[in-house]
Structure 1
Amino acid sequence: MPTRPRPINAAPTPNALSGLSRSLSRSWAAAPIVQESLERDLEDSEAHWSDELDSDEEDTFQTPVAASAPAANHDFSLAASHRRSSFGGPGNRAAIGPNLQYNLDARDRIPREERQRILEEERSLLRDNALIPPKHPRIDEEGRRKSSFGKTMSRFASREDGGANGEQNEVTPLLGDPTLPYGGQDDPSTIKQKWEEAVKDGKIQTTWRREAKVLSAYSLPLMATFLLQYSLTVASIFTVGHIGTPELGAVSLASMTANITGYAVYQGLATSLDTLCAQAYGSGRKKLVGLQMQRMIYFLWAITIPIAVIWFFAEDILMVIVPEPAVAELAGRYLRIVIAGAPGYAAFEAGKRFTQAQGLFSASLYVLLFCAPFNAFLNWFFVWHLKMGYTGAPIAVAITDNLLPLGLWLYVRFFSKKGMSCWNGFTKQALKNWGPMIKLAVPGVIMVEAEVLAFEILTFASSYFGVEVLAAQSVLATLTGITFMIPFPLSIAASTRVANLIGATLADAAKLTTKVAFVGACIIGMFNGTMLWALRNQIPRLFTNDEEVISLVSEILPLCAAFQLFDALAALCNGTLRGLGRQHFGGYVQLFCYYVIAMPISMGTAFGLGWELWGLWTGVAIALGLVALIEFIYLGRTDWETSVRDARERNDNEG
């Protein structure tokens, strides 16, 4: 069954993470581990490559800084609050893994593309608040500016001449040429000065329109990426579902088993690269980024050996758990075949972190734009055209899993200007110094497994009600997984935006962003709910021809439609908590609601009261409502200025 991605304490981290909880900082202690790893790698690497930054590296960062020298600190700039995004996409069969917290030290420097984005954002906010002239000024016949910058442009014209007495004032040197875009005040040094002065004076405000535009720009590409990657599994569900009901239930059971025992393990372990690769890149040691990726690939391939053993004997294991022998046999066959794709999937998970650490967030999207349609074609080609039936679906999956890392390598090698600068070829160093990587990876895999297991228990439970109920559960899980891919990217966008604004000490702007995102989540939730309810009789026919399964899905879809609003709001609240650096609270709430509330209610109503599939989904619906309610109340009572003070303290410490 395709996994229902449920980030516990944050799947994609925001670009700027401020005020991270002290408790998590002490418990994970990511930075010392990473520092230890980097120091070992640097010692070992002296005989292999020079640690001096080449000309390309110097151009990538703000200012080359010696390893022991503190970086310049901008107390109130968006750049000062910057933390590089590092997140794992949902994976075609694995839950979105939590992102380990990492604190980049004073040597953290920002990639050129991200630095330019931050400059443009600060300049845009200064312009909107009439603190610099607009980009395209209108000039009247006397050469005076006609725009909304200031209330009377003649006043600025007189200032440019030094005023009536020809005296210079505090703004005269920054006014520039009124005929130029932004009055000629768009150079980085001027923007920096004006930004810091405006933030200190409380002059930076934002608008609903601006925040809606920013959130849309952030979330829409992510929606495309997540939907494409999720479609890799959906293609098999669509294709196999029309063969027969046992086949639909079997592919659901096989995918679920692959999630718990394999793909979620890869996702969780690979989260350590969110820390290691980003730290290496931020410190200017670009070649170490490729070393960390190479080391992770070898590690994941080693883990593949026990995973492959489990998958090979999965039929015997499932026979003990699942009461339907035919379903267990088909699921076991599926898993034996997809063993061939496991190494490729593992390499892709590591490769995604390699590109994301460099700011190449579009790499995965471009690869999926090719692989997702090709995967759908392969499913049709093997299952129906070559008449291979059920066996054709896992073959298509295995081929696609191996194409993913190949496509990523082709993008980095031929279409990226800087990707290969982080690759130094294969080296024996990748076989050493695994300790820090494993220490960071274990918490990640535990959290991912806990989240995956909570939702996949429903599939195990549904198998005890018959093949038809298991097949219906597969369809329902797939549909709710698809709908979740729409509000979840919005939560990532909100997390990123809130963290950036909090890091820049703009608490009021961060609150406004949250309000805009809240409205967006409500719209998305109501849209998803309306679509599921209105098309409850048509959607199931896309997955199967079995009338009993269609009837079961149609019966439960109104319940799924009812909790779509809660689903979207819970996702949005989780994103806001991540932006505020309080994701630990969201983690506790979700663990409590899923395991203490949802599972007992689901099992009690399904088996005790005989509600079967209705009962299984009732517990989930109640848990989602509680998550949204508790986190919403918590956010309403949160002192946002505390996060701002934490951001200032962090900036001071790093300065």
Structure 2
Amino acid sequence: MARERAMDEPLLGGGKEVREDLEEIKSCKQFFKLWAEESKRIWYLAGPSIFTSICRYSLGATTQIFAGHLTTLELDAVSTENMVIAGLAFGIMMGMGSALETLCGQAYGAKQLHMLGVYMQRSWIILLTMCTCLLPVYLFATPILRFFKQDDEIAVLAGRFSLYMIPQLFAYGLNFPISKFLQAQSKVMVMAAVAAVALVFHVCFSWLLVAHLKLGLVGAAVSLNLSWWIIVLAQFAYIALGYCPGAWNGFSWGAFRSLGSFAWLSIGSAIMLCLEFWYYMILIVLVGNLKDAQIAVAAVSICNNINGWEFMVFFGFNVAISVRISNELGAGRPRAAKFAIICVITSSVTLGVIFFSLVLALRDVYGIPFTNSPEVVRAVSSLAVVFSLVLLLNSVQPVLTGVAVGAGWQWLVAYINMGCYYVIGIPIGCLLAFYFDFGVKGMWSGMLTGVSIQTIIIVTITACTNWKTEAMKAGSRIKKWGGSNNGASDNSSTIEGSDRLA
């Protein structure tokens, strides 16, 4: 705790020196000195966030591994539920919860700590309401999958598994507001510890129920549900026990005010992120219409599983840059916000090249841990080139999404995602897969085109942004959502003349 508080102060907390923006860079030596300092801040946030994201993602991935050693059909069913049904819920819950990254992060940077707990409670109300609205998707998963022409055997078993996973849905609704609340305060080490405990429990309990007691998918569902609820309850216990002083002051009736406007920002966040999550979910559904559907779905599911693990690494950078951007804009430091973007992109691209190289080098073996089927392993190997390009591109795309969330651009990016993914990517993928008979490779190549165009557009927007204006908008946003803005009194005076980095 002492270390956490010590790190918070120079990064995000009060004091006059934090109110001063980054100095103008006049030499390479000065640049690398500032780059090292900012990279240290980024990795302090990103390291535990990466670990947390990998642990949480590994809950579902571990379930798929255990299912894959039952039968190929059960692997397909769990993968389909995880990517399509739970993926739909995960995307919506995470997206709506990410509104707190903007609001809590900027409020924390402006030292309006009392608003963080109120924001979290408003988000709980909205997300739990959305969970209730999503229940029919879980209850009628089988007919929904059949409507999208999914293989009938997969649809029936995936629908049955979806019923078992309803408790996970409500855990999502509580977890994401708590996570964003903690992230805004850089309480990332606590989140990492809780995620590690939950993963160890899940692996051991899954082995007991699935491998030892032979309970099949029922055992897998029980273990996965309990693991997610351990995360929710442990994190809330940390907050309720007083480890977030000033930010959590107990339950408040203020959470019920301005719900309509708060929901609108949450919906924008959800649409932005859901369009990304659903993009790969739709890939699973469309591949189910190809020849040898069970092998094709299994191969794509394995690649998406690995892609998800890699994405979780870069989602850690997403969290880090979102916190840094929102905190710095809330504190009236636009030049520091812009410099943070440069630092995080250099780190993430370096890791992306490493993942790209590993997939190509291990193309014949990386599918083996997921299945006993030689046909599926060969199908996975055939996707290595396209898949490695997806991993490389995903080293940048989540970081740019984090910049958008930190700056409050959710609706803008939502429109960009709609055009690039669904007007360009999916139609090209379908054309290549079905008309030109390129199968899975064609489908993924088309969708890769959409991601490439989206990345280029957001890079351009980020490079052309006037960050002094964004800092002014952050001050206005804090006032609008209930903060007094005393901690960041008149950002305009702080940021005057600070829009140039070098």
Q: Give me the TM-score of the superposition, normalised by structure 1.
A: 0.62
Matched, 1:117 2:6: no
Question: Structure 1 289/422 Cα, relative in aligned 2: closer, same or farther at 3 Å?
Answer: farther
Given residue 460 of structure 1, which amino acid in structure 2 is its aligned partner?
A: V
Task: Identify if the C-alpha distance between structure 1 residues 515 and 551 changes in structure 2 by more than 3 Å, giving closer, same or farther.
Answer: same
Matching residue's letter, 2:467: S
State, as a whole percentage, how many aligned pairs show the same letter.
Answer: 24
User: Following TM superposition, by how much is the alpha carbon of 1:486 offset from its aligned partner in structure 2, in angstroms?
Assistant: 2.6
Instruction: Specify whether residues 431 and 652 from structure 1 end up closer, same or farther in structure 2 by C-alpha distance, changes over 3 A only.
Output: closer
Cross-structure match for 1:308: 135
Shift of residue 345 of structure 1? 2.9
1:525 to 323, 330, 352: 352
CA distance in 2, matches of 1:600, 1:527: 31
The code of the aligned residue for 2:423 comes to V
The yes-or-no answer on 1:463 pairing with 2:288 is yes
After superposition, the Cα gap between the structure-2 partners of 1:280 and 1:588, relative to the gap in structure 1 and judged at 3 Å, is closer
Deviation (angstroms), 1:383? 0.9
Partner residue in 2 for 1:443: 268
Distance in 2 of aligned mates of 1:321 and 1:114: 50
Residue 643 (1) aligns with residue 467 (2): yes
2:426 is matched with: 599
Q: 1:613 to 1:226 in 2, by over 3 A?
A: same
1:108-163, Cα deviation, whole Å (9 max, x unpaired): xxx9878722489x9xxxxxxxxxxxxxxxxxxxxxxxxxxxxxxxxxxxxxxxxx
Of the three residues 567, 574, 587, the one matched with 2:394 is: 567
| Corresponding position: 1:231 with 2:58 | yes
Larger Rg belongs to: 1
Whole-Å separation in 1 of the counterparts to 2:309 and 2:37 = 28
CA shift at 1:385, angstroms? 1.1
Matches within 5 A, 1:164-175: none
Please list the CA deviations of residues 505-556 of structure 1 after superposition, one character each: whole Å capped at 9, or x if unmatched: 674x777655554443332121001111111211101100111111100110
Candidates 619, 624, 640, aligned match of 2:446: 619
Tell me, yes or no, if the aligned pair for 2:101 and 2:323 is still in contact at 8 Å: no
Tell me the secondary structure at the aligned position of residue 268 of structure 1: helix
What displacement does 1:371 show?
0.6
**Partner deviation per Cα, 1:205-261 (whole Å, 9 max, x = no partner):** 442443443433332222112111111111111111111111111111112332355
Amino acid at match of 2:219: G
Contact 1:560-1:621 within 8 A present in 2 as well = no
Shift of 1:450: 2.7
Q: Contact 1:271–1:441 at 8 Å: present in 2 too?
A: yes
Question: Residue 441 of structure 2 aligns to which amino acid in structure 1?
Answer: W
Q: Which residue of 2 aligns with 1:342?
A: 169
Considering only aligned residues, what root-mean-square deviation do their CA atoms show, in Å?
A: 3.9
Change (3 A) 1:341 1:501: closer
TM superposition shift of 1:352: 2.6
- CA positional deviation for 1:397: 1.6
Alpha carbons of structure 1 residues 308 and 192: separation in structure 2 relative to 1, 3 Å: closer
Residue pairs, 1:85-164, within 5 angstroms: 116-118=9-11
- 3-state SS, counterpart of residue 193 of structure 2: helix
Distance 1:200 1:607, change over 3 A: closer
CA distance in 2, matches of 1:345, 1:351: 10
Within a 5 Å distance, the mapping from 1:148-547 to structure 2 comes to 199=23, 205-207=30-32, 208-259=35-86, 261-274=88-101, 286=114, 290=117, 293-294=120-121, 296-356=123-183, 360-414=187-241, 416=243, 418=245, 421-424=248-251, 434-465=259-290, 466-494=293-321, 507=335, 514-547=341-374
**Mapped partners of 1:201, 1:562: distance in 2:** 34
Which structure 1 segments of 5+ residues have no match? 1-110, 123-187
Contact 1:344 1:403 in 2 (8 A): no
Give how far 1:343 is off: 2.6
Distance in structure 2 (CA, Å) of the matches to 1:598 and 1:546: 30
CA apart distance, 1:202: 8.1
How many residues are paired up?
469
Distance (Å, rounded) in 2 between the aligned partners of 1:255 and 1:644: 42
Give the whole-Å Cα distance in 1 for the aligned partners of 2:127 and 2:325: 34
Report the residue type matching 2:47 in the other structure.
Answer: L
The answer to whether the 8 A contact 1:243-1:390 is kept is no
Distance 1:386-1:258 versus aligned 2 partners, 3 A rule: same
From the superposition, tell whether residues 392 and 626 of structure 1 become closer, same or farther in structure 2 (CA, over 3 Å).
Answer: same
Instruction: Provide the secondary structure at the position in 1 that maps to 2:214.
Output: coil
Contact 2:332 2:491 in 1 (8 A): no
Pick which of 399-408 and 523-532 moved more: 399-408
345-354 vs 250-259, which moves further: 345-354
Residue identity matched to 1:643: W
| Partner Cα distance (1:344, 1:578) in 2 | 23
- CA deviation after TM superposition for structure 1 residue 411, in Å: 2.1
Report SS of the residue matched to 2:219.
Answer: helix
The 2-side partners of 1:291 and 1:230 are apart by 28
Q: Which moved more, 1:414-423 or 1:526-535?
A: 414-423
For 2:289, the aligned partner's letter is Y
When you count helix as a share of all residues, which structure comes out higher?
2
Greater mean deviation of Cα atoms: 401-410 or 445-454: 445-454
Distance 2:462 2:106 in 1: 31
The 8 Å contact of residues 184 and 323 in structure 2, kept in 1 or not, is answered as no
Structure 1 residue 477: Cα displacement: 0.7
Change (3 A) 1:504 1:482: same
SS of alignment partner, residue 199 of structure 2: helix
> How far apart are 1:336 and its partner, in Å?
0.7
Q: Give the Cα–Cα distance (whole angstroms) in 1 for the partners of residues 57 and 107 of structure 2.
A: 30
Whichever residue aligns with residue 430 of structure 2, its letter is M
Quote the Cα distance in structure 1 between the aligned partners of 2:326 and 2:90. Answer: 30
Q: Tell me how far apart the structure 2 counterparts of residues 300 and 517 of structure 1 sit (CA, whole Å).
A: 30
